[in-house]
Amino acid sequence: MPIDTRIILAGGGDTEDSRPLDELFAAWTGPGGRMLFLPVALDGSKHDSYLETIRSEFTPLGVSKIEMWTDLLEHDAKELAAFDSIYLGGGSTFRLLARLRDSGFDKALVSLAQQGGAIYGCSAGADVLGRDIMTCAHVDSNDVGLAETHGLDLAAGHAVWTHYQPDADALVVEYVQEWGIPVVAIPERAGVVAHGDWLEPLGFDTVYVFDENGKQELQIPV
């Protein structure tokens, strides 16, 4: 029987853009629940300000116990069991995937998801939860020299294209043709809930899927 995962893929907008996604994630975390915030896609100088942004978004929603880890190599994957939810922040997608792999947290997050753990990926955090991260190559520089670009594959077999705008359609189509991987394209004012083998759109703007049949609106299957 397919596992119904609890994964949010956010397009990368601001607090108001992501409100419906944040509300759902706060409900998953639960009153008094503990959230782990991982800003490791960014360099260290931006970690503290990013944490303050996350606190300003989630504290009003009842999530006040938010802990930040800035170096995954200082932690063991077993520590994840102490948290009710995990938030993967934005930044460099290549850097984030490299750090997840180097620490073994890529496998730990996949295992957590398969056990029903709540995971939120925003921007780069959403990209790495997809099947492949080369969807970010038009904006991100691979300054970490990452050779293998397979993601955690927690988006129902799709690669994830965040910050999507219609003027990127030609690039998305080119990606699908080159890599043979379907893409879920998420605007900044929208998100997707990944339920194991199917995707649910959530938010203010339309989410699209690009595959061998072209571009179509992502809809809840009947």
Q: How many CB atoms lie within 10 A of CB 64?
A: 14
Tens-digit pLDDT profile for residues 147-165: 999 999 999 999 999 999 9
Whichever domain contains 197, its CATH number is 3.40.50.880
Inform me whether the pLDDT recorded for 1 exceeds 50.
no
Tens-digit pLDDT profile for residues 92-127: 999 999 999 999 999 999 999 999 999 999 999 999
Q: Is the dihedral of CA 174, 130, 29, 5 positive or negative?
A: positive
* pLDDT the model gives residue 195: 96
In a domain, 91, yes or no: yes
* pLDDT the model gives residue 137: 95
How many structural domains is the chain composed of?
1
In a domain, 108, yes or no: yes
In a domain, 44, yes or no: yes
Domain that holds residue 131: 6-217
In a domain, 63, yes or no: yes
Rounded CA Rg of the chain: 16
In a domain, 200, yes or no: yes
In a domain, 49, yes or no: yes
In a domain, 53, yes or no: yes
Tens-digit pLDDT profile for residues 40-95: 999 899 999 999 999 999 999 999 999 999 999 999 999 999 999 999 999 999 99
DSSP string, 192-221: EEE-SS-EEEEESS--EEEETTEEEE----
pLDDT tier, 221 (very low <50, low <70, confident <90, very high otherwise):
confident
pLDDT tier, 222 (very low <50, low <70, confident <90, very high otherwise):
low
Contacts by 77-83, CB closer than 8 A, 24 or more apart: 77/103, 77/104, 77/105, 77/107, 77/108, 80/36, 80/108, 80/109, 80/112, 80/117, 82/34, 83/34, 83/35, 83/36
In the chain, what is the straight-line distance between the N-terminal and C-terminal CA atoms, in Å? Answer: 18
In a domain, 222, yes or no: no
